Structure 1
Amino acid sequence: MVRLFGFRELLPFLAFASGFLFLPSGSFADEVTALEAFRKAIYEDPLSRLSDWNPQDLNPCNWTGIKCSSPPQNSVISINLSSSSLKGFLAPQLGSLQGLQELVLDNNLLMGTIPYQLSTLTNLIMLNLSVNELSGPIPPEIGNLTSITKLDLHSNRLNGYIPPELGDLTKLFELRLDRNKLSGVIPASNVSNMLASQENGSGLCQLTHLGVGDFSYNFLVGKIPSCLDYLPRSNFQGNCFDVDGSVFQRSAQQCSSVNILDSDGDSKRNYPERLKHKKPSQPFWLLILEIATGVLVLVFLITCMVTAYPDLLKNVLRISYQEIEAACEDFSNIIGSSLYNLVYKGTMKNGPEIAVISLCISGDQWTSSHELYFETEVATQSKIIHENTAKFLGYCQEGDPFSRMLVFEYASNGTLYEHIHYGDGCQLSWLRRTKIAIGIARGLRYLHTELQPPFTIAELTSSTVYLTEDFSPKAMKYLDNPEERGKLVDPQLKKVKPEDLAIICNVMSLCLEPEPSKRPSMQILAALLEDGIDVTVTAMLKEYPLAWAELAVAS
């Protein structure tokens, strides 16, 4: 007791004598602010990795995932929160951590775009944002990270071109861009001006230290630059390259919408030749007349449609902006985003949890055609009523403040992707997984064949049931050999019915048919699952001693 008291009495003296041990450098204040901005952009932290990130501490060096340099510099040099199940966004304020050398945030659920502000981290040696849900283009400003040796962005949803500015990363040893949605050519040393910036067009052939490069499973076109021939051919598979059959590429149907340009300047070199085969351009006055006529026809059609459907939203619940604002706590809980909308989570007063999709458009940009499209979408969503589809609750349509929102019932159990990859996968028993598969099939069958007019889902992604790009060839291999089918099953599952697995593999094989016209309809696929797999209470009682408990959880 006396010794403890004596030590506490010495603390002020020790703090004064060794200030760098107790009083953080002034430089930490800005860094704590940046880290706090990052923490606020994370709205789900199921593993409590950020629980000790206390901005009142003013010394982040002992926070989880943070490393600092030695005095007297006193700066954050590393953020490593790999595989932390974090869900949220990348805060642009991270760009103010000027001493940062490592930013490792792979294997999380980060969404949104890559902030261009990260390009100011000129001391950064490693940037790993792989296996997330990041979307949008790769910022060309990344080319300013001249100290970087490893850039890993694989397994996201990045789109657009590969910035030729990446060729300015002269120290780069590892570049992974695989498993995204990148298009265009791989910029070599002589990229066409339409793909390169006017100031920088060096291209990837300038990366003389590049030892690891992976561009597989994108939508890249043209030829593989000869300067990258030393890389394994498998690192270019799953694209739309103009190569021989030695490298697996996407089907012609998948690549049909991609404009193929050659990477070694061929697009530029062949351009005059292509002009020879181009039809003579029509007179300018005729072009203007066609445009004017088209606009008049469009205005006429929109006017007719608006007049024909005055009561489009007559029976749909309209929710006020104030109600949604209160439910979403001043729109502070963002759970998703894209270029066109933000998604908020909230709780209605004396009602259910909700997910609100708010369109990102201002009132001065909103047109009558936008309004018609929005009202048509609301009317369509209000007609979709099925146990296996999202439950639409209502909409918000106000002018001050301008708002166009769709309100759905929130799915509190999260996504299937999260349960399998970030949760306790063993909780998803074989029975529950087969019920999920049948439920998805039923929902798609309803949308495709039972709803009038039919409704299609643009993209079945990891937020529902995500099938990775490299899964298809593996699945085909397993499906062709019944003895290999067991390797498809999660090893955490203690009990699997082989006859159910055979049916599921048959359905998978039909879905993976390379020729789209040969794939069966959802009506047929759903029937195959429903007729072949028994998920009734009787089946559960036969298979499980504690079937009643499983039934209670699965329902």
Structure 2
Amino acid sequence: MPSTLNDGSHISSTLVWIAIVGVGSFVVLVISIAILVIAILRFRWRAEPRVTPWKPGMSRHLPGGHVFETLVPFLQREELQTACEDFSNIIGSSPDGVVYKGTLSTGVEIAAMSIRASASDWSPHFEVLFQRKVEGLARMKHKHLVNLIAYCSDEEPFTRMLVFEYASNGTLAEHLHNVKESEHLDWPTRMRIIMGAAYALEHMHHDLVPPASHLNFDASAIYLTDDYAAKLANFGLAKMFVGGSHEKSKSFWSGTWSSPSGYHCNAEWESESESEAASDCYCPGFESNLYSFGVFVLEVISGRLQYFEPEGSLVGWAVDYLYDPKMVQYLVDPTLKTHNPDELAALCKIVIMCLSNRGYRRPSMRKVTQMLSDVLKLSPKAATSKVSPLLWAQLEILDNS
């Protein structure tokens, strides 16, 4: 009997050891297989070519061995000369440059700005500023901005050009003040334009890094698409906040874009909470933009110039009506057949805030956009042009480059 018990204990102990060894071997096998699979996958991953995100940029080898890289495609002068009918189709000019209207081979229209300069006058400093201009404008992609789609920097003959998308319906100022020559804008269309302009400024003030203001914001800076969506232009007059200072140079370069060493915000703006104050803080120039936006809204709803005789300034004339709910109707453009009284009253309240004598009490552009959206019921999609030629223009340029 004792012998039988000893044999049973021995068998049980053997089975336990066999189970332990079996489980251990299985675990080792699983781990070995996993390591082998991982090693194979890592080898294959390294062996396969990596696909980097597509970027519509090009590297340009400039004189002196410098390489200029940007996300905006480069165009040869010959290509632009063909598109702009041998540079005969001039649609604008200034002491700094000439703007030509052009048409790419696909039928996409462009506006090409040629900078007035010669090779002898073009210093390395100006070349750096031009590159910063291109780099800055390249990052400003928004549905309510006139976007940069290409640039040209040829040496023979000397050429520096910026190529923008073309807004076919001209400027808002032309439609407001040259009614006989331009199509009349009804009330809903004007509200959509105001909303689009607000979205553009909000993007510049709050979404760009670093932020930017517009130094000449008015109806002349707003261009209209085929379906009368607003696009903010005149970036030659935009200003970046470079450590609170601004390098003085030729007027064209007042819009040079560059990374700031830092920007400061105005903490005195009153908001509902500290967190909101932090998100709504703004930099020098923003207060001026808010005032200009208030004047702009008055210009749109009244159809009047910002200064006209014999009344004088638009703001001075409007003050008599802005603060009296029974009088605000007299602000409306008399050529309009109808308008929305509730929207008009709300717009007047926003204008009053924007025109505050104390700049720090003016709302942020984000706050204004939110108020306008609540009143006008226009989402970013509703205010945006249904058809944008920007993508097709860029695809054609890349295909030909």
Under a length normalisation based on structure 1, what TM-score does the superposition of the two structures give? 0.40
| Aligned-residue CA RMSD (Å) | 2.6
Structure 1 residue 515: Cα displacement? 2.5
Change (3 A) 1:531 1:475: same
Match of 2:191 in 1: 434
- Note the 1:454-469 alignment, pairs <5 A: 454-464=211-221, 468-469=306-307
Q: Secondary structure at 2:342's aligned position in 1?
A: helix
Match of 1:416 in 2: 172
Match of 1:271 in 2: none
Match of 1:398 in 2: 154
Q: Secondary structure at 1:356's aligned position in 2?
A: strand
Cα distance in 2 for residues equivalent to 1:314 and 1:390: 18
Match of 1:330 in 2: 86
Structure 1 residue 426: Cα displacement? 7.3
- Note the 1:143-162 alignment, pairs <5 A: none
Match of 2:126 in 1: 370
Cα distance in 2 for residues equivalent to 1:374 and 1:345: 21
Cα distance in 2 for residues equivalent to 1:437 and 1:331: 34
Q: Secondary structure at 1:317's aligned position in 2?
A: coil
Contact 1:394 1:407 (C-alpha < 8 Å) held by counterparts: yes
Contact 2:110 2:163 (C-alpha < 8 Å) held by counterparts: yes
Match of 1:452 in 2: 209
- Note the 1:114-129 alignment, pairs <5 A: none
Does 2:342 correspond to 1:488? no
- Note the 1:38-49 alignment, pairs <5 A: none
Cα distance in 2 for residues equivalent to 1:495 and 1:322: 50
Cα distance in 1 for residues equivalent to 2:340 and 2:188: 9
Structure 1 residue 383: Cα displacement? 0.9
Contact 1:313 1:375 (C-alpha < 8 Å) held by counterparts: no
Cα distance in 2 for residues equivalent to 1:313 and 1:437: 36
Contact 1:333 1:344 (C-alpha < 8 Å) held by counterparts: yes
- Note the 1:192-207 alignment, pairs <5 A: none
Which amino acid in structure 1 is aligned with residue 85 of structure 2? E
Change (3 A) 1:395 1:445: same
Structure 1 residue 318: Cα displacement? 0.2
Structure 1 residue 552: Cα displacement? 8.9
Structure 1 residue 345: Cα displacement? 1.0
Structure 1 residue 475: Cα displacement? 2.0
Gaps of 5+ in 2: 1-61, 223-295, 300-305, 308-312, 388-401
Q: Secondary structure at 1:491's aligned position in 2?
A: coil
Match of 2:322 in 1: 479
Contact 2:138 2:148 (C-alpha < 8 Å) held by counterparts: yes
Contact 2:144 2:196 (C-alpha < 8 Å) held by counterparts: yes
Match of 2:101 in 1: 345
Cα distance in 2 for residues equivalent to 1:426 and 1:400: 43
Larger deviation, residues 506-515 vs 432-441: 506-515
- Note the 1:44-123 alignment, pairs <5 A: none
Contact 1:442 1:526 (C-alpha < 8 Å) held by counterparts: yes
Gaps of 5+ in 1: 1-305, 540-550
Q: Secondary structure at 2:69's aligned position in 1?
A: coil
Cα distance in 1 for residues equivalent to 2:212 and 2:150: 18
Match of 1:534 in 2: 377
Structure 1 residue 311: Cα displacement? 5.9
Pick the structure with more helix per residue.
2
Cα distance in 2 for residues equivalent to 1:441 and 1:370: 33
Cα distance in 2 for residues equivalent to 1:449 and 1:311: 31
Cα distance in 1 for residues equivalent to 2:119 and 2:138: 24
Cα distance in 2 for residues equivalent to 1:454 and 1:441: 15
Cα distance in 1 for residues equivalent to 2:368 and 2:100: 34
Contact 1:354 1:410 (C-alpha < 8 Å) held by counterparts: yes
Structure 1 residue 312: Cα displacement? 5.0
Change (3 A) 1:486 1:311: farther
Structure 1 residue 501: Cα displacement? 0.6
Cα distance in 2 for residues equivalent to 1:346 and 1:518: 44
Q: Secondary structure at 1:481's aligned position in 2?
A: coil
Cα distance in 1 for residues equivalent to 2:377 and 2:219: 26
- Note the 1:263-342 alignment, pairs <5 A: 313-342=69-98
Structure 1 residue 448: Cα displacement? 1.1
Match of 1:515 among 358, 362, 366: 358
Q: Deviation string for 1:424-479 (max 9, x for gaps)?
A: 67742211111100100000000111011112222114423565141011222211
Cα distance in 2 for residues equivalent to 1:413 and 1:382: 24
Cα distance in 1 for residues equivalent to 2:317 and 2:221: 21
Contact 2:70 2:138 (C-alpha < 8 Å) held by counterparts: no
Contact 2:204 2:213 (C-alpha < 8 Å) held by counterparts: yes
Which amino acid in structure 2 is aligned with residue 353 of structure 1? E
Cα distance in 1 for residues equivalent to 2:330 and 2:129: 46
Cα distance in 2 for residues equivalent to 1:513 and 1:333: 44
> Looking at CA atoms only, which structure, 1 or 2, has the larger radius of gyration?
2
Change (3 A) 1:402 1:384: same
Structure 1 residue 341: Cα displacement? 1.1
Structure 1 residue 335: Cα displacement? 1.3
Q: Secondary structure at 1:390's aligned position in 2?
A: coil
Q: Secondary structure at 2:162's aligned position in 1?
A: strand
Cα distance in 1 for residues equivalent to 2:114 and 2:124: 18
Cα distance in 1 for residues equivalent to 2:159 and 2:92: 17
Contact 1:476 1:509 (C-alpha < 8 Å) held by counterparts: no
Which amino acid in structure 2 is aligned with residue 473 of structure 1? G
Cα distance in 2 for residues equivalent to 1:350 and 1:426: 27
Cα distance in 2 for residues equivalent to 1:312 and 1:384: 18
Structure 1 residue 336: Cα displacement? 1.2
Match of 1:277 in 2: none
Which amino acid in structure 1 is aligned with residue 185 of structure 2? L
Contact 1:447 1:456 (C-alpha < 8 Å) held by counterparts: yes
1 or 2 for the larger relative contact order (CA 8 Å, sep ≥6)? Answer: 2
Residues paired across the two proteins, number: 233
